[in-house]
Structure 1
Amino acid sequence: MPALPALPRPSMLSALLPGSLRQRIGARLNDFRVPSFTVPAPIARIVARLPQQPPTHALTLALNLALGRILPRDALEPLTGRHLQIRVLDAGLRLDFTLAASGFCRAAATARPDLVISATTRDFLALALREEDPDTLFFSRRLRMEGDTELGLLVKNTLDAVDWDALKTKLVGRRSG
């Protein structure tokens, strides 16, 4: 597999936006809560029949952008060559990916995954926005892990180690009191 080209670092949002707009965006991000919703079944049936490569490519692109910046590559080394799958239950998505020497890439959907992480769209969004704790979702059976749970713990602990507040400060800038 060819090496991924180095991506230019995007300008920080805080440098692009005037102070008052940056503060309003920061305030909205602080107050935002993911509403309770489920993807309608007819849409999920359609999405499940569509090729899964485009959303998997979007996921691996986002992970590669984060790799080395907010996701420590050395901590994720045990994921190298392991087949991971994210199932978005209410949307009918199955995203198969792996970590290679060149970064995250799509894994063959025909192979059995080493780790499957399943939840609804709403719960994945709440996790990404740090509104919900993975342990809370896991023990309430809204987040499921199947397969190599040691890999699951590695992923969870790596995400828990990310300083999300520092990242948000970099992106939005400091709010004035």
Structure 2
Amino acid sequence: MHLSFFMQKKLLLELLDRLLSEDNELDSLHHKWLKIEVTDLKFSCYLSFAEQKFVIKQQCKKRDVIFSGALNQFILIAGRKEDPDTLFFQRRLVIEGDTELDLEIKNLLDNIYFENLSPFIEKSLNHFATFVQRGLIPLGGKGVTASFFASDQ
């Protein structure tokens, strides 16, 4: 079973609105495109900010910055177990493109409002990131998550 891109987009938009709703730093993404690639899941999407809301596309010709890495690297960032710079210098996260925008996005990641998530989700994310950090969830493995993000194409 996997979710269509429409449903993935809906979930991502809801999550972004909750996590970043109080942040005034989003103007740096105004009409700029961030490509996020989860390499082991063969999943990618394009993220921008326009007219006070997030925009997510499955395909986009323009990309100002690309963040790519395995799912576990993004889990470590979300769970605040690693920062993007550390993963970049360890070559576990690839960051390409506009350096100034790259820095602004990394600062944005540091200012995520986890308090806007339910305590259950926040605690679950923290536990999941701890499992990844300790090596209890193998890197690059396939499983339920891979089928969840499987492409519709």
Please classify the TM superposition score into its range, dividing by the shorter chain length: 0.5 to 0.7
Distance 2:72 2:31 in 1: 29
Q: Shift of the alpha carbon at 1:119?
A: 1.0
Q: Shift of the alpha carbon at 1:162?
A: 4.4
Would the aligned equivalents of 1:57 and 1:106 in 2 still touch at CA under 8 Å? Answer: no
Would the aligned equivalents of 2:36 and 2:68 in 1 still touch at CA under 8 Å? Answer: yes
Would the aligned equivalents of 1:61 and 1:104 in 2 still touch at CA under 8 Å? Answer: no
CA RMSD of aligned residues (A): 2.7
Find 2:104's aligned residue among 147, 154, 158: 154
Query: Taking structure 1 as reference, are residues 89 and 68 closer, same or farther at Cα in structure 2, changes over 3 Å only?
Result: same
Distance 2:35 2:9 in 1: 10
- 2:42 paired residue number: 92
Query: Taking structure 1 as reference, are residues 84 and 171 closer, same or farther at Cα in structure 2, changes over 3 Å only?
Result: same
Distance 1:99 1:157 in 2: 16
Distance 1:90 1:51 in 2: 18
The sequence identity of aligned pairs, in percent, is 33
Q: In the alignment, does 2:119 pair up with 1:171?
A: yes
Would the aligned equivalents of 1:79 and 1:99 in 2 still touch at CA under 8 Å? Answer: yes
Opposite residue 88 of structure 1, the aligned amino acid is V
Would the aligned equivalents of 2:35 and 2:45 in 1 still touch at CA under 8 Å? Answer: yes
- 2:83 paired residue number: 133
- 2:17 paired residue number: 64
- 2:45 is paired with a residue whose SS is strand
Find 2:56's aligned residue among 106, 112, 121: 106
Q: Shift of the alpha carbon at 1:76?
A: 1.7
Q: In the alignment, does 2:29 pair up with 1:76?
A: no
Distance 1:161 1:129 in 2: 13
Q: Deviations over 1:60-99 (max 9, x none)?
A: 2211122334xx1x21212111111100000000111211
- What residue ranges of structure 2 are gaps of 5+ in the alignment? 121-153
- What residue ranges of structure 1 are gaps of 5+ in the alignment? 1-46, 173-177
Q: Shift of the alpha carbon at 1:102?
A: 3.4
TM-score w.r.t. length of structure 2: 0.66
- 1:104 is paired with a residue whose SS is strand
Is the radius of gyration larger for structure 1 or structure 2? 1
Q: Shift of the alpha carbon at 1:129?
A: 0.5
Q: Shift of the alpha carbon at 1:151?
A: 1.0
Distance 2:60 2:112 in 1: 32
